[in-house]
Structure 1
């Protein structure tokens, strides 16, 4: 179905984020197992519980507004989930992987924040007050998760990764190579 109206766009965007959330429910347990930092493991587990609630809110919106979601796969989330798999496969479990997992999780959160912010605005324009209320709850959770991930990175997760042999904080990759 082509997108011709603002309501069509709302349904398309809601279908897209629904797919994204469903993909995330499958990826989060894998991310939790891949993390070494217990706080990061807990963050992934907690967000999985929240994500189930977010899917339920989308179901509520569909029911409240009598909408029919499209069967689409969110390509953006598919790519972000694939990046997470690559991190797990390519980086040994430990502080460097944890730093990469935090970064990847923040990419996911930023995508979700943009998606829910867009849906809130479109819903407001359509007069979907009931849907906007539910979407704003999810938007607030996504922002809180992003903040928790930032605090994890700042409170030592990234410093532990920097302390790994070979990491040189603030090194200049463009500096001339010194001959001995």
Structure 2
């Protein structure tokens, strides 16, 4: 096992993790779209699925520009890490797992939509942190094209997060509050976080 000893190697590693992140999201989003009841939410998630597929292709461009190879993904991992799925992003795996668990609960339609938005925003925040880090590494390394491609995706992730916040604040969270008030779960006029 080699030792990772430069920032470019760390950037290549982070990009491999981002590939895993995007692949996991592409796999998970259709279930969220199916469970959503708000047509606006379904539309937003469907549009983001298409954007995510383009982001995944953009990462292939980044890997090309970096001269990354399949071997780069496991070069610095021990044999056990490689056998246990060394290139799968465990952070995103956990976030998606939590989202799947909440969607498996017995939730009203209104609360389900709010839960889906919450799960999606956790995904977006993880991506914002990850893309921001990789973009900064590329900037520090003077890799302008790589930096630009990563910045483009970072901007899209910020926009997705803002759109989800807008949907939550404009309608979906209020519907979830109203649904809970009607079922007697909260007192009308009480405040929740």
| Equivalent residue number for residue 50 of structure 1 | 51
Task: Report the alpha carbon displacement of residue 93 of structure 1 after superposing the two structures with TM.
Answer: 4.8
Q: Is the 8 A contact 1:95 1:161 kept in 2?
A: yes
Which blocks of at least 5 consecutive residues in structure 2 are unaligned? 74-85
Aligned positions of 1:55-134 closer than 5 A: 55-68=56-69, 69-70=72-73, 72-134=87-149
Q: Distance in 1 between matches of 2:51 and 2:30?
A: 13
| Equivalent residue number for residue 27 of structure 2 | 26
| Equivalent residue number for residue 161 of structure 1 | 176
Which blocks of at least 5 consecutive residues in structure 1 are unaligned? 173-180
Q: Residue by residue, what CA displacement relative to the aligned partner does 1:60-116 show, whole Å, maximum 9, x if unpaired?
A: 011122112516101111011111111221133501011111111111001000111
Q: Is the 8 A contact 1:34 1:93 kept in 2?
A: no
**TM-score for both structures, normalised by structure 1:** 0.90
Q: Is the 8 A contact 1:35 1:93 kept in 2?
A: no
Q: Distance in 2 between matches of 1:19 and 1:89?
A: 24
Q: Is the 8 A contact 1:3 1:12 kept in 2?
A: no
**TM-score for both structures, normalised by structure 2:** 0.85
Equivalent of residue 191 in structure 2, options 156, 166, 170: 170
Q: Distance in 2 between matches of 1:33 and 1:153?
A: 18
Superposed CA RMSD in Å reads: 1.6
